[in-house]
């Protein structure tokens, strides 16, 4: 036991429980207070979970007063009241134990703080702030106090009856942004949180709320959805909201009405079944009165919720079983066919091996496919095979649906709200499940298709006895009760019924039937005729084409009888020599100019328009040899005669040819001579023309040369005359210049000469040279020579001589 003696010191807002060991009573001391503890005083604390006092150390016994700030509240358990009903709390210092109302609790809003009585427990809770999409769930724990305080709290609980303990109510953030529960109410926590999140729905979203009564409430966006106190959100994969189901005209939902309701003035009762397509509702929201009927794939357990149309291409069809009538209809393309699952099932027709071989000769794939269908037919126990069962067994329904689901997600985009039906569902078997996907790979999915080629025909027969003939090219979609008429044709040569060929395709154009007919001639010789008949079936008699089941036997037997009668009238030699003509005339009739020949069979509209004789053979070898020898001799004689005739003709033709050749050669020689004479004459003419041209050219050249010489003489005479004139003019000019200089120098006085000596010989010489230089250049003589000639015999001659002497000495 811990030592509890000592000094108890309590600060402001502190309290402690002290138990008297001798009496067992527990006192409460509230601070500020100090107390010296005796050995009988024991500090204790109250454990509200065990509802007892536990001895503790002095430090452990000191506790803080519960403190609640403004906007929070205290939940006080086991409160104490005075006679007036006011709450009593311990005072500062020592307080005796009060009379507690054990088991009761009250809510005290802040701000407040006080010590607790021994046996009390207080829990501080923050006030509840609510946004517009948040809410609280409160519970009535004291109906009397709750009734008194609900009006003071300013809340409307919309209760239909007086409050009772345990009732739950919802406080919405759209109505009360801040809430502190009054006494009598407590806020219920969920996962440790008092404030709960409402559900915000966007457009095309919905949610489902499930009440404790089992009722469901469907809410659509956009809105904020608050559950009632007794409701909870239904979830799937942690999602509380879901996308509405988008539909188009090729999609639908199979719905069961589970509760009566009215819509658009129409009342729906429980048990009614609806098939809602995009034509009725482009966007579908589930509702409480609807339950979705889904089918499960027997292989993978996949639930089928949405129904999709089938793409039926042009020229194809699908069998649709109408369940309430037991009738099978044929839906033909092109279209997207959406069967109503309430009453329509797409089925497939099972053909036996013989029928497959007749309708699709040589198609092993079709044989295997129908064999698989027969196995499914045996397993199902029905008289038909549902299309969905075939898909589930052969093409992999689950893989196909997975691809479809991925495609839907890609189309809608990522979203926290998956597109699905989350209301009530009714799971059913797979017998009437419609096709899961749109597909164009429809080789064996739909109605058996018959496509006769050009020139072929089939007869379609139903179980009511109706018949129709279809001529190719055409595509036939067989109704569920329709089949093809079968022909059994003789084979072999000659045609017999030992090995009949079964067929449904009748060749109506350019049909070819071969046969070997044995006939007997008038002289009792058997002859085998190998024939080939060419047959057409006339369009105007198409209703009779299939009236004769074995038209080959009918044709051959009839014509064989006619041929036998005709050949019996002829001898063997006569017949052999004219077998082709006899056969053609017998079968087709005698040839008449401008008319066509044929042999018509009115029983089935068959018309033999040509017959070809491929060969005739005599059955008796001896007669054949005799006839052969006779024919060979006749042929030999004919050949010899023909050879001699050919020789005569050849000789005659050779003579005629040689005569003609001689005539041609004679004419050729004459033509050659005439041509040679004409060539010689022409050559002489050409030579004379050439000589004449040469003479004319020579004369022209000589004339031109004479004219050229005359022109040169004229030019020479003109040149000489001009030169004489130039030289005379030059002499006259020089004479004039000489006379001018002479006159000028004669005018020079001795005084001028003295002056020139004074001015200096150099300057004089320079000016004299400048003046005489043009004359020297004209005469093409030196300057000195010109000066000597000009001043010779004058007073300046001595000066020039003096100048020339100085010039020579200086050199």
pLDDT digits (tens, 9 = 90+) for 586-620: 998 888 887 888 899 999 999 999 999 998 888 77
Mean pLDDT, all residues of the chain: 81
Strand ranges, E, within 141-201? 168-172, 178-179, 185-187, 196-197, 199-201
Mean pLDDT, range 613-640, rounded to an integer:
75
pLDDT of 783: 61
pLDDT digits (tens, 9 = 90+) for 499-550: 888 888 999 999 999 999 998 888 888 888 999 999 999 999 999 999 999 9
pLDDT of amino acid 762 = 55
From CA 254, how far away is CA 411, in angstroms rounded?
23
Cβ-based neighbours of 107, under 8 Å, separated by 6 or more: 73, 74, 75, 76, 180, 181, 182, 183, 185, 186
What DSSP letter does each residue of 561-628 carry, written as one string?
HHHHHHHTTS-HHHHHHTHHHHHHHHHH----TT----EEETTTTEEEEEEEEEEEEES-HHHHHHHH
Q: Tell me 549's DSSP state.
A: T
| Encoded tokens for 778 | 């004209």
Greater model confidence, 556 or 446? 556
Phi, psi of 543 (to 5 degrees): -70, -10
Partners of 523 in beta bridges:
none
Position with higher pLDDT, 325 vs 12? 12
Are 54 and 73 within 8 A, CB to CB? no
Distance, C-alpha 341 to centroid of its chain: 31
- pLDDT of 57 strictly over 80: yes
Say whether pLDDT at 118 is over 60: yes
Q: CA triplet 381, 385, 391: central angle to 5 degrees?
A: 125
Q: How far apart are CA 496 and CA 458, in angstroms?
A: 24
Q: Residue with structure tokens 């009722």?
A: 215
Query: Can you give the C-alpha Rg of the chain in angstroms?
Result: 71
pTM beyond 0.75, yes or no: no
Do residues 634 and 553 lie in contact, with contact meaning Cβ atoms separated by under 8 Å? no
Which is nearest to 278 in space by CA: 208, 336, 219?
Answer: 336
- Pull the structure tokens for residue 742: 């002479």
Other Cβ atoms closer than 10 A to 135: 24
Q: Which two tokens stand for residue 71?
A: 């906007």
Q: Using alpha carbons, select from 496, 506, 609 the residue that is nearest to residue 548.
A: 506
Topology adopted by domain 198-243:
SH3 type barrels. (2.30.30)
* pLDDT of the residue at 411: 30
Top-ranked range on mean pLDDT: pick from 83-92, 125-134, 433-442 = 125-134
Mean pLDDT for the stretch of residues 761-775: 63
Question: Which of 71-75, 348-352, 599-603, 789-793 is the least confident region?
Answer: 789-793
Confidence at residue 749, expressed as pLDDT on a 0 to 100 scale: 55
Cα–Cα dist 436/434, whole Å: 6
The reported pLDDT for the residue numbered 765 is: 60
Peptide bond into 32 cis (omega under 30): yes
Q: How far is the C-alpha of 386 from the C-alpha of 322, rounded, in Å?
A: 12
Spatial distance between the Cα atoms of 349 and 323, rounded to a whole number of angstroms = 16
- pLDDT at 388 (0 to 100): 61
- Confidence at residue 62, expressed as pLDDT on a 0 to 100 scale: 93
Looking at residues 62-78, what average pLDDT do you find? 93
Q: How confident is the model at residue 207 (pLDDT cuts 50, 70, 90)?
A: very high
Smallest CA-to-CA distance from 753 within 790, 779, 791, 783 is with: 791
Instruction: Supply the pLDDT for residue 435.
Output: 42
CATH number for the region 486-619 comes to 3.30.479.30
pLDDT at 315: 82
Q: How many CB atoms lie within 10 A of CB 514?
A: 16
Check residue 134 and give its pLDDT.
Answer: 94
Which range, of 369-383, 425-439, 497-511, 543-557, averages the lowest pLDDT? 425-439
Over residues 272-278, mean pLDDT: 92
Question: Is the pLDDT confidence value at 380 over 80?
Answer: no
User: Which of 346, 390, 352 is CA-nearest to residue 370?
Assistant: 352
Q: State residue 682's pLDDT score.
A: 85
pLDDT of 138 above 50: yes
- For the segment 390-398, the average pLDDT, to the nearest whole number, is 48
Q: Return the structure tokens found at 435.
A: 């096709």
């Amino acid at each position: 036991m811990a030592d509890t003696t000592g000094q108890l010191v309590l600060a402001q807002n502190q309290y402690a429980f002290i138990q008297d060991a001798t009496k067992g009573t527990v006192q409460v001391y509230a601070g500020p207070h100090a107390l010296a503890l005796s050995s009988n005083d024991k500090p204790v604390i109250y454990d509200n979970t065990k509802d007892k006092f536990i001895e503790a150390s002095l430090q452990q016994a000191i506790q803080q007063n519960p403190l609640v700030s403004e906007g929070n509240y205290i939940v006080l358990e086991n409160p104490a009241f005075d006679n007036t009903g006011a709450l009593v709390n311990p005072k500062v210092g020592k307080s005796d134990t009060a009379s507690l109302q054990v088991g009761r609790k009250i809510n005290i809003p802040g701000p407040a703080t006080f010590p607790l009585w021994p046996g009390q427990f207080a829990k501080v809770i923050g006030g509840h702030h609510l946004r517009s999409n948040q809410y609280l769930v409160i519970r009535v724990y004291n109906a009397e106090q709750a009734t008194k305080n609900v009006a003071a709290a300013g809340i409307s609980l919309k209760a239909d009856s007086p409050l009772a303990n345990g009732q739950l109510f919802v406080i919405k953030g759209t109505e009360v942004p801040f809430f502190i529960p009054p006494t009598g109410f407590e806020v219920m926590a969920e996962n440790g949180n008092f404030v709960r999140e409402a559900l915000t729905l966007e457009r095309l979203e919905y949610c489902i709320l499930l009440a404790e009564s089992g009722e469901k409430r469907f809410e659509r966006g956009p809105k904020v959805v608050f559950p009632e106190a007794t409701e909870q959100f239904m979830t799937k994969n942690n999602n509380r909201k879901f996308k509405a189901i988008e539909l188009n005209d090729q999609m639908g939902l199979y719905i069961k009405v589970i509760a009566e309701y009215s819509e658009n003035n129409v009342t729906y009762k429980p048990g009614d079944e609806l098939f809602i397509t995009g034509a009725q509702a482009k966007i579908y929201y589930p509702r409480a009165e609807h339950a979705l009927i889904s089918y499960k794939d027997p292989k993978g357990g996949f639930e089928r919720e949405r129904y999709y149309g089938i793409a039926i291409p042009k020229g194809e069809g699908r069998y649709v079983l109408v369940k309430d009538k037991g009738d099978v209809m044929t839906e033909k393309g092109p279209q997207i066919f959406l069967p109503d699952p309430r009453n329509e099932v797409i089925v497939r027709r099972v053909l036996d091996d013989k029928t497959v071989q007749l309708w699709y000769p040589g198609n092993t794939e079709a044989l295997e496919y129908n064999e698989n269908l027969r196995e499914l037919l045996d397993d199902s126990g029905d008289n038909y095979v549902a299309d969905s069962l075939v898909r589930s067994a052969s093409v992999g329904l689950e893989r196909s649906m997975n691809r479809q689901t991925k495609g839907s997600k890609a189309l809608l985009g990522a979203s926290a709200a998956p597109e699905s039906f989350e209301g009530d569902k009714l799971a059913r078997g797979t017998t009437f499940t419609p096709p899961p996907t749109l597909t164009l790979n429809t080789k064996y999915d739909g109605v058996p298709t018959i496509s006769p080629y050009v020139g072929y025909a089939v007869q379609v027969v139903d179980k009511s006895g109706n018949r129709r003939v279809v001529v190719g090219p055409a595509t036939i979609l067989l109704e569920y009760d329709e089949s093809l008429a079968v022909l059994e044709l003789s084979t072999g040569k000659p045609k017999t019924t030992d090995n009949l060929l079964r067929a449904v395709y009748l060749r109506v154009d350019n049909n070819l039937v071969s046969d070997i007919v044995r006939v007997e001639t008038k002289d009792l010789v058997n002859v085998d005729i190998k024939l080939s008949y060419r047959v057409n079936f006339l369009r105007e008699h198409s209703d009779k084409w299939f009236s004769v089941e074995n038209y080959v036997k009918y044709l051959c037997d009839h014509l064989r009888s006619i041929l036998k009668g005709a050949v019996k009238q002829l001898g063997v030699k006569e017949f052999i020599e004219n077998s082709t003509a006899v056969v053609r005339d017998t079968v087709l009739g005698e040839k008449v100019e401008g008319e066509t020949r044929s042999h018509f069979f009115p029983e089935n509209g068959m018309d033999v328009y040509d017959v070809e004789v491929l060969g005739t053979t005599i059955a008796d070898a001896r007669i054949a040899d005799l006839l052969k020898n006779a024919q060979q001799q006749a042929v030999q004689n004919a050949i010899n005669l023909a050879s001699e005739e050919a020789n005569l003709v050849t000789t005659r033709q050779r003579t005629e040819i040689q005569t003609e050749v001689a005539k041609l050669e004679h004419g050729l020689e004459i033509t050659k001579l005439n041509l040679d004479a004409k060539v010689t004459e022409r050559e002489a003419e050409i030579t004379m023309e050439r000589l004449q041209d040469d003479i004319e050219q020579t004369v022209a050249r000589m004339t031109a040369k004479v004219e050229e010489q005359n022109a040169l003489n004229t030019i020479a005479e003109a040149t000489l005359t001009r030169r004489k004139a130039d030289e005379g003019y030059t002499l006259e000019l020089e004479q004039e210049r000489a006379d001018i200089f002479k006159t000028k120098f004669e005018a020079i006085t001795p005084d001028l000469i003295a002056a020139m000596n004074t001015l200096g010989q150099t300057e004089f010489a320079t000016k004299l040279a400048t003046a005489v230089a043009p004359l020297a250049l004209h005469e093409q003589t030196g300057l000195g020579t010109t000066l000597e000639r000009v001043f010779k015999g004058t007073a300046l001659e001595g000066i020039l001589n003096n100048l020339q002497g100085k010039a020579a000495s200086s050199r």
